[in-house]
Structure 1
Amino acid sequence: MDSAPGIPPLVPGRLPLLGHGLFMAGGSGRLKFMERVRAHGPIVRIKVGPKDVTVVNDPTLIHEMLTSQADEFTKGLLFEKLKLFGKDALPVAEGKPHLRRRRLMQPAFHRQQIAGYVNTMREAVEPYVASWDGGTALDVKTEMQLMAQSVVMSALFSATPRRDPAYTILNSVDTVFTTALQRALLPISALERLPTRRNRKAEAASSALRTAVAEIIAEHRAHPDTYDDIVSLLLTAQDDTGATLPDDEILSEIVALLAAGSETTAVVLAWLFHELGRNPDMERRLHEEVDSVLAGEELTADHLGQLPYTGRLVQETLRLYAPWLVTRQALRTVRLGETVLTAGTDVIFSPYAVHRDPGLYDNPDRFDPDRWHPDRPQPPREAFLPFGVGKRMCIGDAFALTEAKVITAFVASRWRLKAVPGSVRPVGEITTHPSRLRMIPEPRTDAQDRSAQSV
């Protein structure tokens, strides 16, 4: 078998250690490295800092690990480091505590409940979109993060921060995520306890997040009859003994939801508008669909089912710019395919690399929303995992999909975003970020003309 650059060929029947350390690769290098590793078989080993880590490349084995063998694994190294948000929060909780917390929070994420959030989502993003200055370049990722953060806070917490506090929250989330990834890629616990500038910055960011959320909780406690949202649900929830949740656990839960909600969907939306800026025909199709369906009306939940092309744009962006790194750790000795993993084995897999596998997707590096058209052959269900699968699948998947469609359609109804000259490349951070994405908003006078004609 030919070796990818910098990686020795594998020996059949064995699981050798690849010599290239993932920690040594930069943000873009990490993505390329994970794609190259895929060529060496269903399961291989790599070096992550001082650790040997097993990489699962085969989507069938990934699916098995996340479903039928889910109880044999914890969430692993990256999620352990994400306990900066709080050790008991749903995204990082394990075992029975995770199951109880997921059951508690699930009602807030039922599809019927999410449909009721659509008007709130639209109202949350409208001030940001209305503030754009036609002809003045935007940092698109930051704008999408601010909008996604506003959606989460409005829909789930009944709170709307002013722009300056919103920036503080956003910067704190970025800092905590960056710190968690750095600690996962160079897992030397002793370094985390040193009073370094980086560690102090991470603690300050975590503290700022918790302070912002504590204010939301205090407002809900002071006016309990005013609110009906996920904060209210957590404040009134009781465990098996009838006791309410400790304040620190409620705080951690809301901080984690805020962080996840303002990061992942925002990055997907940034990439989506980047691709539209490179593909005028796709942008035209989106505008035509949105204009036809809305016909000058405000976007509501009833419109979303009539926007299939908008949905395919979101789905294709989720495919092409999926998370690049997910971790697990074997709780006990377990067989995965032909490989036996001993207890304590650190495992990683890359949705980004799976989604770009030419054996699973035709022309995988091409942005092609119509690959998801129902008349075209679809990839195996194991080959698409932007939200994971199984009992640890992201609880907010339907919320995120709805939010992405709402923001895409709302922006498209008013603006077109034109690319600013310069290269934009994917970077492996906590998710797959654009390196630097600036675009120029231009008001859609054609949409205004059509709206006037429809009245």
Structure 2
Amino acid sequence: MSNSGHVPPMAPGKLPLVGHAIPLIKDRLAFIQRLRTHGPVVRIAVGPKTLTVVNSPELMHKMLTSQADEFTKGLLFEKLKLFGKDALPVAEGKPHLRRRRLMQPAFHRQQIAGYVDTMRTAVEPYVASWDGGTPVDVKTEMQLMAQGVVMSALFSATPRRAPAATILNSVDTVFKTAIQRALLPISLLERLPTRRNRKADEASSALRTAVAEIIAEHRAHPDTYDDIVSLLLTAQDETGATLPDDEILSEIVALLAAGSETTAVVLSWLFHELGRNPEMERLLHEEVDSVLAEGPLTAERLPLLVHTRRLVSESLRMYSPAWLVTRQAVSDVRLGEFTLPAGSDVIWSAYALHREPELYPDPLRFDPDRWLPERPQPPKGAFVPFGSGKRMCIGDTFAWTETIIITALIASRWRLRPTPGAVRPVGAISTHPSSLQMVPELRHHTVVGKAR
């Protein structure tokens, strides 16, 4: 390979021994955004480890598409193998391609259109269960709804609230562990019998036990189900062999985790912004009431929710769950004018990208109208809430659909009023609100699914 490229510059502020660890720990979202001012590619140090940060949307797009084979998924995905070492989100190379081809039919647009009734039926009991006037933890409620949608549509399972909360807590624990290990990648610390490590192991075990029960139920009654679990149980590789139970379990756990977390944080931010923007909320209620006046929400009526979709788009932009995504160079890589040596750990941030003023005028203003068709749209590669290229999230259409449905069904019945206190973004496994308590206020002229 040519050595004509040069090594990316080191970001200013590096301290002896700790590098940039202090600002990264203190306010990682602000730090990752500031790095964009230091050029298209820049290096940072976390203790003894050096990370390369790609800021340029053009180089980011190349890394995810035309140069995708020159990178593995990197540190964060390696740590997410707590969910299972062979699952699609963490698989590499040919195993990733085979697994993606195997699962793609379950996420085809036509298949997802068939999930709409199931999604609606799964969400309605949650929406109806709120007590008007009593504050709710919005992120937890949205997680439970999203998790209920994933389990109903993909696994034909509808756990009660208590077991569902146990699964949710286990997912949260494993995610927190993964991000901590990615930011402080010292293998020895992961093997010590600390309280945090024991808690992570227990959470992973509890999660896998809950999912194993779903697999056992499908095996006991194979003719009863037609869902992704059934697909995985009957799938065969090129030799005709079926997938081992352990791999099926890992796949389902990963889908459950990814499918609930991202959707939940986007919904949380969406309703937080509606609570601060009465006019946007009024337009949402008008649109939802108009569409649902014709009957329950169906796949045919979803495209009519155009303002709702713009609200989701703007929530994905301004509060992109992906504040940190990792890659690792397989061999020496030329990225633009820079050379990345083999083994280089690379990170990129959709959160920082989506707040770039050159791409999004007035980026800190929540403005769903920026997605109107007559307005200038961001350039290719500048809006990547679900990634890009062959490793783009397989569930992107599923996530869009469930987010729009949950938004519409909540809005058809409730207003969510803000409570006192600051709400700030926190960079964990996703960009979640620091704390978000809101008070449901019943809209008396409507009920879920139809107008009175």
**Shorter chain as normaliser: what TM range?**
over 0.9
Relative to structure 1, is the Cα distance of residues 234 and 450 closer, same or farther in structure 2, using a 3 angstrom cutoff?
closer
Relative to structure 1, is the Cα distance of residues 280 and 246 closer, same or farther in structure 2, using a 3 angstrom cutoff?
same
Deviation at 1:14, TM superposition (A): 5.5
SS, match of residue 39 in structure 1: helix
Cα deviation 1:4-36 (Å, max 9, x = unaligned): xxxxxxxx9862254165543467710000111
* CA distance in 2 between partners of 1:451 and 1:234 (Å): 37
Relative to structure 1, is the Cα distance of residues 394 and 449 closer, same or farther in structure 2, using a 3 angstrom cutoff?
closer
* CA distance in 2 between partners of 1:88 and 1:48 (Å): 28
> Which of 36, 42, 50 is the equivalent residue of 2:40?
42
SS, match of residue 180 in structure 1: helix
1:292 aligns with 2:286: no
Q: 2:439 maps to which residue?
A: 440
Relative to structure 1, is the Cα distance of residues 245 and 445 closer, same or farther in structure 2, using a 3 angstrom cutoff?
same
Q: 1:406 maps to which residue?
A: 405
> Which of 34, 55, 58 is the equivalent residue of 2:56?
58
Relative to structure 1, is the Cα distance of residues 252 and 451 closer, same or farther in structure 2, using a 3 angstrom cutoff?
closer
The one-letter code of the counterpart of 1:142 is T
Work out whether residues 292 and 449 of structure 2, in 8 Å CA contact, stay in contact via their aligned partners in 1: no
Q: 1:78 maps to which residue?
A: 76
| Deviation >2 Å, runs of 4+ | 20-28, 446-453
Q: 2:356 maps to which residue?
A: 357
Relative to structure 1, is the Cα distance of residues 22 and 309 closer, same or farther in structure 2, using a 3 angstrom cutoff?
farther
Q: 2:28 maps to which residue?
A: 30
Work out whether residues 233 and 243 of structure 2, in 8 Å CA contact, stay in contact via their aligned partners in 1: yes
Q: How many matched pairs?
A: 442
Work out whether residues 49 and 187 of structure 1, in 8 Å CA contact, stay in contact via their aligned partners in 2: no
* CA distance in 2 between partners of 1:201 and 1:449 (Å): 39
Once superposed, what is the RMSD of the aligned Cα atoms?
Answer: 1.6
* CA distance in 1 between partners of 2:293 and 2:239 (Å): 54
Relative to structure 1, is the Cα distance of residues 347 and 143 closer, same or farther in structure 2, using a 3 angstrom cutoff?
same
* CA distance in 2 between partners of 1:13 and 1:241 (Å): 45
The one-letter code of the counterpart of 1:32 is A
Deviation at 1:297, TM superposition (A): 1.9
SS, match of residue 52 in structure 1: strand
* Superposition map of 1:228-239 within 5 A: 228-239=226-237
Normalising by the residue count of structure 1, what TM-score does the alignment of the two structures yield?
0.95
Relative to structure 1, is the Cα distance of residues 293 and 272 closer, same or farther in structure 2, using a 3 angstrom cutoff?
same
Cα deviation 1:92-125 (Å, max 9, x = unaligned): 0000000000000000000000001011111111
Work out whether residues 297 and 449 of structure 2, in 8 Å CA contact, stay in contact via their aligned partners in 1: no
Deviation at 1:294, TM superposition (A): 1.2
Deviation at 1:180, TM superposition (A): 0.3
Q: 1:8 maps to which residue?
A: none
Q: Which deviates more, 203-212 or 118-127?
A: 118-127
Relative to structure 1, is the Cα distance of residues 131 and 57 closer, same or farther in structure 2, using a 3 angstrom cutoff?
same
* CA distance in 1 between partners of 2:114 and 2:154 (Å): 11
Relative to structure 1, is the Cα distance of residues 53 and 130 closer, same or farther in structure 2, using a 3 angstrom cutoff?
same
Which sections of structure 2, spanning at least 5 residues, go unmatched?
A: 1-5
Which sections of structure 1, spanning at least 5 residues, go unmatched?
A: 1-11
Q: 2:172 maps to which residue?
A: 174
Normalising by the residue count of structure 2, what TM-score does the alignment of the two structures yield?
0.95
* CA distance in 2 between partners of 1:402 and 1:22 (Å): 39
Q: Which deviates more, 441-450 or 330-339?
A: 441-450
Q: 2:94 maps to which residue?
A: 96
Deviation at 1:452, TM superposition (A): 5.8
> Which of 186, 204, 219 is the equivalent residue of 2:202?
204
Deviation at 1:293, TM superposition (A): 1.3
Q: 2:379 maps to which residue?
A: 380
> Which of 314, 317, 321 is the equivalent residue of 1:316?
314
Relative to structure 1, is the Cα distance of residues 421 and 343 closer, same or farther in structure 2, using a 3 angstrom cutoff?
same
